[in-house]
Amino acid sequence: MELLEEYIRKNGAVKEGNVLKVDSFLNHQMDVKLFAAMGREWKRLFADAPINKILTIEASGIGIACVVAEAFDVPVVFAKKAQSINIDGAVYAAKVQSFTHKRVYDVIVSKKFLSPDDHILVIDDFLANGCAVNGLLDIIEESGATLEGVGIAIEKGFQEGGKLLRERGVRLESLAIVDAMDAATGSLTFRR
Amino acid sequence: MELLEEYIRKNGAVKEGNVLKVDSFLNHQMDVKLFAAMGREWKRLFADAPINKILTIEASGIGIACVVAEAFDVPVVFAKKAQSINIDGAVYAAKVQSFTHKRVYDVIVSKKFLSPDDHILVIDDFLANGCAVNGLLDIIEESGATLEGVGIAIEKGFQEGGKLLRERGVRLESLAIVDAMDAATGSLTFRR
């Protein structure tokens, strides 16, 4: 998606340790006009899919998912990190290893909000090794819902998450795929 | 706001310990049509304020803030809980006590995204004792930005957060104020 690539080139920064900082528009400060354009693009890409719900994971996926959900006219459910006293009753749970925070945490979704009748689009800001998305896919499988696809803003194409999802037959639509980046020069190569 | 009160009456549940569960539409599953209506209402209420940015706090405030930001045509910044390796450089920080999780945590905002030129609307899902909002107000004050007001979806009017903010002269617009609730009967009383 050309607009997103422009944002990344103009406002992103490549840092040591394979970190792509996009915190001025994607995951700390958030440009909701960009998110609305992303929603229109995913709606075009998944036009034939009977999506009735969007699933994401806290925290940075939530803003994108909510603006994108307006394009699909469906509700959002977000997987919560760790147990909250406000979640009672039964939950679906999965373990996720965080690339950013270097630790494993539990994510949970109340059983009230996912059922075999649901057709789910998973939305998240980043795909690297795929741990967060795989946790959400485990939860969807446990619920009996149908996975219609996964929409990612920025895929790190040099890490294996996207490749493994495509090999499993998951319909994955990443709006920008970074195939290489260099912290020394700040250069970025997008997949064509 | 009548629509929000209807949602609360129809889909909310009063639980022991002053918990109002609204997880089917506000803070776990999220009804983005409701959020858009809330955005229009706050835009009407703050029509005269020169708001150029919305500030919220992860996680459940983010979805509301992003949809509401579309009505104001401004970006969102969310305060992050605890330190992330992806936040480098200087941050504004405040301590927040969580009513839900019974613990104190640090919230941070990168100094890049708040400055004395900014006119801020704070948005959050709940106001009870006001700890989260007060943490955000501390951060705004530290940054030199101007606080234009605070928009809350549901204020628990029987806790002191709202009263203390109004006494300080903060322009607070809560779309629903619950003055009493009873877990035994499930009854709810809204402020008129």
The ipTM assigned to this model is 0.95
Q: For residue range B107-166, what is the model confidence (pLDDT) as tens digits? A: 999 999 999 999 999 999 999 999 999 999 999 999 999 999 999 999 999 999 999 999
Mean pLDDT of B17-21: 93
CA distance B94 to B81: 10
Cβ–Cβ < 8 Å for B99, B132: no
Q: Which residue has the tokens 């104001």?
A: B72
Q: Give bridge partners of residue A182 from the DSSP assignment.
A: A187
Q: Which of the 8 DSSP states describes residue B17? A: T
Enter the pTM of the model. 0.95
CA angle A21-A22-A23, nearest 5°? Answer: 95
Of B29, B58, B109, the CB nearest to A113: B29
Contact A75 B28 (CB under 8 A): no
Of B31, B69, B101, the CB nearest to A75: B31
Q: DSSP H helical segments within B12-160, as ranges? A: 32-45, 60-72, 131-143
3-class secondary structure, B145? coil
Q: Is B24 on the interface with A (CB under 8 A)?
A: yes
Mean pLDDT of A26-44: 98
Q: Is A170 on the interface with B (CB under 8 A)?
A: no
Q: For residue range A61-108, what is the model confidence (pLDDT) as tens digits? A: 999 999 999 999 999 999 998 755 555 558 999 999 876 667 888 999
Q: Which two tokens stand for residue B179?
A: 């003055």
CA distance A68 to A91: 25
Cβ–Cβ < 8 Å for A12, A22: yes
